Structure 1
Amino acid sequence: MSLQIFPRSFCLALLGLALASPAFAGDPFRPYAPRNIGSHTEAAFNAIFREGNYKSARDLLAVAMATEPNEPLAFAMQASLAYDAADFEAMKLYAEKTRQAAEQLKPQDPLRGNLYLAVSYFLEGGYLLKKGNYLEAVSKAGNVFDYLDTAAKSNPDDPELNLLRGYLDLFLSKYTPFSQSDQVINRFQQYASPEYLKNRALATTYRDLKKYDQAMEYLDKALAETPENPELQYLKGQLLRIKGREQKDITLLQSAQVYYQVALQKQDQLSQAVIVQLNHENNAIQYEIQKLRDNPNLKSFD
């Protein structure tokens, strides 16, 4: 497993915790017995994951941290944005604030308090990796899983717990036999929520397992709920490009290019890391389409 990409996977999980549901006291996860996570925190998450709008999310998150200072999820989100922007000192700061808020929350809500203590140690581990402290970073994994296990004692079927832990488990399952991936996927399907985030995670998992038909199935479900999200449009383009390259099918490649270009129309609201990769892949697919036009019997794009 590459330790370099491990923290980004979990940070992306933190970026993906949003579903508009004002009747549930700002709780995007639980239709029953909701927690009062906070409307401003929820609004920031809606911006970043339902809309794929990082620019708007940063402004909303500033309000969330000022008005809902005891919500660890807000600080975890800010740490994740700092990681994405390569501002690792800010990441460390907000990882510490996540831990402080989680400690305050734990007495009245042990599940969420312990869950975000786990998150804070994971974020700290990501910071240490970037500083080259690999052994110390790996040592934080024990804290992460200890707090996740403690959180699960409150309610192992909790949707928020299973969404965050599921993203982590799905990432790890890529480096294990597929039988274990099946077990992880089955539990994630059963308990994680909200649906569109679950479907997005399953789409990327099946993509990485090279099961592209299943990946497309779950991605289409996610797009049906959040059709304007440019990150999902980008992912759709990725899957079509993979199939187009495999089948040497210019029509599939052209369809992929359409999705890339739709996503590019909203690139001003995406993170810088996504913008760079999206533009790189869009340039590459233009080359691939032209190469296939010039040589319909092409054996390889390499």
Structure 2
Amino acid sequence: APAALLRVQRVLDHVGQAEAINPRDPELNLVRGFMEWGIASNVGFVSMDRAIQTLQTYAAPNYLSYRGLALAYRDRKQWPQALNAVDQALALAPNNPELLYLKAQILAASGNRSQAKQYFQQAIAKQNQLPRGIREEIQQFSRRIAPQG
């Protein structure tokens, strides 16, 4: 844990240096928004509102900022907002299997298991585009909901 904290501190130092140069840089804000989401989701030192604000304000490319927003809303169990964000991401990157998987997760968590299965199947059909760990995760998640709906 101490080594991880040192690495996090170094990353935050570099982010601070980049912000001093251009606080509105879209890629910087994308990274910062995802970092804030991860910290808010896992540790709670940062407000999820802050992550959402960062991703909404200056982050780009848009399909990734919408993906981050969908993750944040998913973690808050704000299903309509999560679906809206993932749908906006999919409008920009309709063949992205991670986005299809994210939509399936949101649909399953919100109780729409039959529609979720369709998105899981679409994501699995494009699994060759994904790293092995994500492929396995999608398949496990898909199997978990299969008997229930």
Normalising by the residue count of structure 2, what TM-score does the alignment of the two structures yield?
0.90
Counterparts of 1:73-88 in structure 2, within 5 Å, are none
Distance 1:260 1:137 in 2: 33
Change (3 A) 1:286 1:187: closer
Q: Supply the distance in 2 between the matched residues of 1:194 and 1:136 (Cα, whole angstroms).
A: 32
Q: State the superposition RMSD in angstroms.
A: 1.7
Q: Which has the higher helix share?
A: 2
Separation in 1, partners of 2:107, 2:90: 14
Which stretches in structure 1 are left out of the alignment for 5+ residues?
1-133, 245-251, 290-302
Aligned to 2:3: 136
The match for 1:277 is 137
State the identity as a percent. Answer: 37
Runs of 4+ in 1 over 6 A off after TM superposition: none
Pairs within 5 Å for 1:102-251: 134-174=1-41, 175-176=43-44, 180-244=47-111
Q: Deviation string for 1:60-97 (max 9, x for gaps)?
A: xxxxxxxxxxxxxxxxxxxxxxxxxxxxxxxxxxxxxx
TM-superposed CA distance for 1:177, in Å, is: 7.9
How much does 1:169 deviate?
Answer: 1.2
Give 1:207 shift.
Answer: 0.5
Equivalences, count: 148
Q: Deviations over 1:255-300 (max 9, x none)?
A: 11111111111222221111111111221222112xxxxxxxxxxx
Q: Post-superposition shift, 1:216?
A: 0.6
AA matched with 1:146: D
Q: 1:287 to 1:189 in 2, by over 3 A?
A: same
In structure 2, list runs of 5 or more residues that go unmatched.
Answer: none
The code of the aligned residue for 2:77 comes to K
**Counterpart-to-counterpart distance in 1, 2:51 and 2:126:** 34
Deviation at 1:187, TM superposition (A): 2.9
Shift in Å, 1:188: 2.4
TM-score for the superposition, normalised by structure 1: 0.46
